[in-house]
């Protein structure tokens, strides 16, 4: 999905998209409020540190397939910051260590 398509989903009102999409990038688009609204509509409760959590889970997912320096370049952080703040131990890691195929939720 292209960047503009993602913003269309999060900021569905064209008036808000036009005012938030500045020459310097996306500003004042209140993404947390819009994301919380989308989650509520989907019947999903929010969680603390919403965007940090999403960034950490994506960093962890990408890290499983690509080298750390590549993922850090894509996400705009350093390997040190990724290891300190974003890389997660998942249920699948525990399952793999225990010799199980996949965790069933």
Whether 93 and 60 have beta carbons less than 8 Å apart is answered as: no
| pLDDT surpassing 90 at residue 66 | yes
Whether 11 and 20 have beta carbons less than 8 Å apart is answered as: yes
Q: Dihedral sign for Cα 33, 15, 7, 29, please.
A: negative
Tell me how far apart the alpha carbons of residues 7 and 90 are, in angstroms, rounded to a whole number.
29
- Does the pTM exceed 0.75? no
pLDDT value for 104:
58
pLDDT value for 100:
82
At residue 54, φ and ψ (nearest 5 deg) are: -65, -40
What residues does each domain of the chain span? 3-41, 50-97
Q: Where are the beta strands (DSSP E) in the chain?
A: 21-22, 25-26
Better pLDDT: 33 or 60: 60
Paired with 26 in beta bridges are: 21
Whether 85 and 58 have beta carbons less than 8 Å apart is answered as: no
Tokens 């990724």 locate to: 82
pLDDT digits (tens, 9 = 90+) for 42-59: 998 878 888 899 899 999
| pLDDT surpassing 60 at residue 69 | yes
| Mean pLDDT (whole number) for 10-14 | 62
């Amino acid at each position: 999905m292209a960047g503009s398509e993602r913003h269309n989903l999060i900021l569905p009102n064209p008036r808000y998209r036009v005012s938030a999409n500045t020459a310097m990038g996306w500003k004042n688009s209140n993404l947390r409020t819009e994301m919380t609204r989308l989650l509520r509509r989907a019947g999903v409760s929010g969680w603390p540190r919403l965007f940090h959590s999403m960034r950490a889970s994506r960093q962890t997912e990408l890290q499983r397939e690509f080298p750390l320096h590549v993922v850090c370049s894509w996400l705009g952080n350093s390997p040190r910051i990724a290891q300190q703040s974003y890389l997660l131990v998942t249920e699948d890691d525990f399952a793999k260590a225990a010799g199980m195929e996949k965790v069933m939720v």
